[in-house]
Chains A and B, each alone.
Chain A
């Protein structure tokens, strides 16, 4: 278990790597990766049981990045865990790389599901949780869902199934950053209220400031303790968090920074 202070340098390096990876590839999704750094670093270091020793086990705690376009987020946390070398991050989105634009589970140990096509990851997480329940295994399953992603009908098919089978070993985290490619989620196609929808489908609903590590840890603990229903943590976040000119700007959903922007971003993040 790492303290809030111990997580800070990890989160700083993750943000730096996210920005560098996307800049180096000249493509990729920065905004929605930066928004969930606290959520995912806390998950990997303080909540999930995932280690070098159990990494290749087919059955263990699992994480499904349902919003698969936030692959820089996933690769950066796997790097912090020591599952991926930092040099390899700079192969992201390049030919012959294991680090695909959207993650492939067969290329990288620690990527628990190939995702990218929105709505499918949460269903796969339901399948994992269902199989653990059926086999009497104690492992837990986590999935990060985008707020825009919740416009996909499949998210709600999955929500229905998870509640139906009382998958209290499943915890979905909604990255509510309020923006999608074409702009504000409420203007493009309003998916709100996401919390009430999950609640209506039979989920336990928790709310958190997605950048407050103590509150996030408290939510994970509550989710773990809650029995009889799956839990969704609706996390209010800032898209592009940590880089002032990227924050709350839909324009930074899937655009790479140029040289000057990269330098400015790294300066703000305290990197080189």
Chain B
């Protein structure tokens, strides 16, 4: 199966659309080779501006550029985009609803060896709590390219959460991304695994393993975390006994919280949240970190078997 990091796919997509539209500007904060905005710089240097290691300024500069009717892609690591520059994102970009696409790479613990200081596990919580913000996390290269094209057309602030590590391609060439619409990748019964980003691959693997235990899981990709696909989630809640959310993020405030906000109000059903358990990460390979912090397919299977033992499914 083909493998590519979503940041790579972002760089390639941006390099394509930037030549098609003279109103697209790209900003980076000294990480253009890592965030892959360098691909866009190579094809159109006159629209790529390095703002140096000054993320707060970069976000407000992005707002100023966007105020003139331009579309701005601003990239850095998720830690600095959502964390360090949070208030600039809120006040300079989201409050005036300016057309800035914050494409944040190296999100989550799979940033790996750089360790906890750089591993954003809070960014979804931060970004989805800001009014006017749209939050998207693509799961593979094919989805990422379409997300980048879609957000370039959408008017308003978007946070796109991208990963460092290569991930297997889940979608095929016929895939069509629709903002705000979750994707049912596998139809089962009783158990729904709701996932996003790199956890889509893990959920699919877990679903395969669960068939051996006599459990036929539904697997859903929620690429748009805000606005979340309420209709689909309510439908899943009505047709399943247990929902397990799978995310590479703190279990507080991320996908699990977003799903439960719908489920608890619209059609309560038992849920279990799989993600980083409110703890900081550490240095290590992405695979070792996923293993240690409990976010692999195996952990999903174990969680579901545990729920089965408790009679929840």
Contacts and interface: CB of A to CB of B under 8 A. Distances in A.
B61 A127 contact: yes
Interface stretch (B3-11, B47-55, B164-172): B47-55
B96 A114 contact: yes
Contacts of A149: none
A130 B47 contact: no
Nearest to B54: A157
B97 interface: yes
B92 A112 contact: no
B68 A154 contact: no
Interface stretch (A118-126, A174-182, A255-263): A118-126
Interface string A92-136: 000000000000111000001110110111011111111110110
Interface of A: 58-59, 62, 64, 104-106, 112-114, 116-117, 119-121, 123-132, 134-135, 153-154, 157-158, 160-161, 164-165
A141 to B, nearest CB: 8
Contact of B67 (A117, A127, A161, A164): A127
Contacts of B57: 123, 126, 154, 157-158, 160-161
Contacts of B250: none
23 contacts: A58-B67, A58-B68, A58-B69, A59-B68, A64-B64, A114-B91, A114-B96, A117-B92, A120-B88, A123-B57, A123-B59, A123-B61, A124-B63, A126-B57, A127-B67, A128-B65, A130-B61, A130-B65, A134-B25, A154-B60, A157-B54, A158-B57, A161-B52
Contact of A160 (B52, B88, B91, B92): B52
B70 A131 contact: yes
A71 to B, nearest CB: 14
A173 B215 CA distance: 68
Q: Give the top 6 A-B pairs by smallest Cβ distance, nearest first.
A: A127-B64, A123-B60, A157-B57, A124-B64, A127-B61, A58-B69
Contacts of A134: 25, 46-47, 49
B124 interface: no
Nearest to B57: A157
Interface of B: 22, 25, 46-47, 49, 51-52, 54, 56-57, 59-70, 87-88, 91-92, 95-97
Contacts of A121: 60
Dominant secondary structure of chain A at its interface with chain B: helix
Nearest to B23: A135
B92 A123 contact: yes
Nearest to A60: B68
A56 to B, nearest CB: 11
B52 A128 contact: no
A126 B243 CA distance: 48
A131 B22 CA distance: 11
Contact of A117 (B25, B61, B91, B97): B91
Contacts of A157: 52, 54, 56-57
Nearest to B70: A131
Nearest to A125: B64
B49 to A, nearest CB: 7
A62 B57 CA distance: 19
Given A104-B96, A123-B57, 14 more contacts: A62-B67, A113-B63, A114-B96, A120-B60, A125-B64, A126-B60, A127-B60, A127-B63, A127-B65, A127-B67, A128-B67, A157-B52, A157-B56, A160-B52
Contacts of B60: 119-121, 123-124, 126-127, 154, 158
A160 B54 contact: yes
Nearest to A105: B96
Contacts of A64: 64
Given A113-B96, A157-B57, A161-B57, A120 B67 contact: no
